[in-house]
Amino acid sequence: MTDEELVRRWQQGDRQAFDALYERFKDDAFRTACLITGNRADGEDLAQEAFVQCALHIGSLKDGSKFRPWLMRLLSRSAWKYCKKRRREQPVCELFETGEGESALTAVLRTEEQRRLYEALYVLDEKRRTVIVLYYFDELSVREIAQAVGATEGTVKSRLFSARRHLRQALTEKGLKPKEASLHG
């Protein structure tokens, strides 16, 4: 059954349609939330919040085929608010199961390049990190990201540009200093 059909059924009160949509997108939502926040506990909170927001506002979704970007929009709004509230450094390895710091990171990310990119990602401020995750992981367009984070397309492009510049620098320089990096852009 298509997303559109499931959304239509859900709007008509079919709870099983919601369950089906949840099963379809739960991992996407959880992974995106984890990437933005940098850890699983917060990712779980935000995924929950996003699905609850979906339930509250499902009646306002006119095009059911756009359910996924709509879910991501609700998720990223919640995530962004949360990051703004939280304002603390994200531990590098909280995403990884073993919790053994560098060894876990090394096991999951195979190359030095990937590890440096990952670390640099969490030096970015949340605005730029959110844009990077939505663009490269969720493959949203600049327009969709702009709608998601409540910014203009120009602002999203600017954030993408400065984030890329920072990440490229992280790959070419040694001893990246977090404060310097977060000032870019």
Partner 1 sequence: MDEMNLDRALRETLQDCTNDLKAPDRLKTRVDFAMQNNTTAPRRKMCSWKRTAITVCAVLAVAVTGVFAATSMAGIYSHSWSNQKMSYAETASKAGVQLPEMFSNGFVFQSGYEVFSEARGDAGETESKWTDINAVYEKNGVTLSLETGVPQDALIGGTVKQSREVDGVKVSYTDDNYLSVPPDYELTEAQKEAESSGDIVVSVGSDQVEMNFFQFVSWEQDGKRHSLYGYDTGLTADELMDMAAEMIGA
Cα dihedral 58, 61, 66, 70 sign? negative
- Nearer Cβ to partner 1 (39/155): 39
Given a contact cutoff of 8 angstroms between Cβ atoms, the answer to whether 134 and 145 are in contact is yes
The set of residues, in sequence order, having a beta carbon less than 8 Å from that of 20 and lying 6+ positions away, is 1, 6
Q: Contacts with partner 1 in 93-132 (CB under 8 A)?
A: 95, 97, 108-110, 113-114, 117-118, 121, 132
Residues 22-61, one symbol each (x = binds partner 1 by CB under 8 A, - = not), give: x---xx-xxx--xx----xxxxxxxxxx-xx--xxx----
Please report where in the chains the tokens 């999951």 appear, as a residue.
108
Question: Least distance in Å: CB of 155 to partner 1?
Answer: 20
Question: Least distance in Å: CB of 44 to partner 1?
Answer: 6
177 binds partner 1 (CB under 8 A): no
Structure tokens at 96: 């990884």
Based on C-alpha coordinates, what's the Rg of the chain?
17
C-alpha 77/C-alpha 151 separation (Å) is 11
C-alpha 166/C-alpha 120 separation (Å) is 8
Question: Least distance in Å: CB of 182 to partner 1?
Answer: 18
- Nearer Cβ to partner 1 (44/153): 44
68 binds partner 1 (CB under 8 A): no
C-alpha 123/C-alpha 160 separation (Å) is 15
Given a contact cutoff of 8 angstroms between Cβ atoms, the answer to whether 37 and 90 are in contact is yes
Question: Least distance in Å: CB of 108 to partner 1?
Answer: 6
- Nearer Cβ to partner 1 (105/149): 105
Angle between helices 153-172 and 142-149 (to 10 degrees): 110
- Nearer Cβ to partner 1 (136/153): 136
Residues that bind partner 1 (CB under 8 A): 22, 26-27, 29-31, 34-35, 40-49, 51-52, 55-57, 82, 85-86, 95, 97, 108-110, 113-114, 117-118, 121, 132-133, 136-137, 164, 167-168, 171-172
